Amino acid sequence: MVINTNFSAQAAATRLAHSSGALAQSLQRLSSGSKIISPADDSAGLAVSTQLGAQLLRLDAAQSNLSNAMSFVQTQDGYLQKVGAALTRMSELSLLSLDVTKSDADRGLYQQEFHSLGDYLQHAATQDFNGVSLFTSQNLYVTTAGDIEHTIMRVGTMTMIGLNLSSATYASVAQADIGTAAHAATTLSGVKAAIDQLARDRGSLGLDLERLGFYHEQLAALQNNLSAANSRITDVDVAQESTNYAKWNILVQSGTAMLAQANTQPQSVLKLLGGN
């Protein structure tokens, strides 16, 4: 039996330190909800989780872009509905001007309303959405994924064909004249062509809106799956970790008691010395 070195106490202290560290780690996991407190806990899992987290944020940005694009298209269609109503009235005025019972003075009154509607068409063509022209011949490219694979090929984007209300089909109607029966007949053909073009343009917007909705739902599903994958890596299983916490808590208490017992063992040497 020795006094200077208490091997039992040293072993008990080592085990107690291990149990205390595990208890502290379990407590941190339960309080934070994450099972990766430091990179040492799961270095590979932390690396994968970091990549997944960045991808999830990019998906959030892509969904925001899609939502804004849907608002853009809806705004376009809102204007086109009014443009359609204006063109319908302009076609009606053109036909009224062909009435043989109407005088040129009557046609002049129709002409005033027709010009007013034409001014509205020209005004609608100049509108914008957050500084971006609503009606332009340039195509727009909407991000539909969290990553753009190639800028030139635009993989991960959706092309929205530009819709130009300043095109010749619309502009000719806005500047047309129904002051005479001959002019009204010519203008009526132009207005009908503009209505046909408007129908095609609104149909194109409907397709864009439908595709944007599909892409938005696709990103939402992908985001849910990636979030679940990231959760399996980083989120703590509370039921399992509570069991671990109870286990380490008991070991700390028992280790503390055993260390106290081990520290009292050298006192038995006093009995030997007293017996001599």
What b/e string do you get for 49-73 counting C-beta neighbours within 10 Å, with b at 16 or more?
A: beebeebbeebeebbebbeebbebb
Cα–Cα distance, 269 to 259 (Å, whole number): 18
Average confidence (pLDDT) over 5-12: 80
pLDDT value for 1: 58
Tokens 């944007």 sit on residue: 212
Among the residue ranges 38-47, 117-126, 225-234, the one predicted with the least confidence is: 38-47
Instruction: Identify the band that residue 149 occupies on the pLDDT scale cut at 50, 70 and 90.
Output: low
Q: Is the pLDDT of residue 118 over 80?
A: yes
CA neighbor of 236 nearest in space, from 29, 44, 5: 29
Which of 22-31, 130-139, 236-245 has the largest mean confidence? 130-139
Q: Is the pLDDT of residue 7 over 80?
A: no
Average confidence (pLDDT) over 228-257: 87
- Hey, what are 171's tokens? 């502009």
Tokens 């002409």 sit on residue: 111
CA neighbor of 201 nearest in space, from 142, 124, 144, 143: 124
pLDDT value for 257: 87
How far from 215 is each of 54, 188, 228, 235, CA to CA, in Å?
20, 41, 20, 29
pTM beyond 0.85, yes or no:
no
Tokens 């959030």 sit on residue: 60
Cα–Cα distance, 110 to 202 (Å, whole number): 28
Q: Is the pLDDT of residue 134 over 90?
A: yes
Cα–Cα distance, 219 to 66 (Å, whole number): 10
pLDDT value for 156: 74
Among the residue ranges 132-141, 167-176, 245-254, 260-269, the one predicted with the least confidence is: 260-269
The amino acid at 47: A
Average pLDDT, the chain: 87
What confidence tens digit (pLDDT) does each residue in 80-96 have?
999 999 999 999 999 99
pLDDT value for 275: 53
Instruction: Identify the band that residue 184 occupies on the pLDDT scale cut at 50, 70 and 90.
Output: very high
End-to-end CA distance of the chain: 15
Cα–Cα distance, 53 to 51 (Å, whole number): 5
Instruction: Identify the band that residue 236 occupies on the pLDDT scale cut at 50, 70 and 90.
Output: confident
- Hey, what are 199's tokens? 């129908």
